[in-house]
Amino acid sequence: MPTFFENKTDDGDSAVIDWNGNCNPGSLQIVGVFDGATVTITGSMNDGANYTAPVNSSFTSEVITPFEMATGKVKATISNAGASTSLSAYISPG
């Protein structure tokens, strides 16, 4: 399963994952201690030139949810990490 990050404790972007979703729903899972942090999933359909957040793509608690986007690139960003933040995020094609 493609991994955005595991046990990440600070603000910042994950590595970019090439997404071949073809608009088929996949799954997104975010787990760990948030301590005030927000995880936002963003995508790019123009080879990474611009990233935007799909609707309902920011999370402040653990979640497993469907994820749907056309083929492109996706990444996860942590913002407002607290002292005890430790998050892992995974995405799986449908």
List, for residues 22-67, the tens digit of each pLDDT value.
667 889 999 999 999 999 999 999 988 999 988 789 999 999 999 8
The CA–CA distances, whole Å, from 87 to 13, 17, 34, 43 equal 12, 17, 7, 20
Does an H or E element contain 17, and which?
strand 17-19
Sign of the Cα pseudo-torsion (53, 72, 67, 39, in order): negative
What is the reported pLDDT for 55?
77
What is the reported pLDDT for 23?
65
How many structural domains are present in the chain?
1
pTM: 0.93
**Residue 8 sits in which domain range?**
3-92
Rounded Cα–Cα distance for residues 13 and 83 (Å): 18
Rounded Cα–Cα distance for residues 54 and 65 (Å): 13
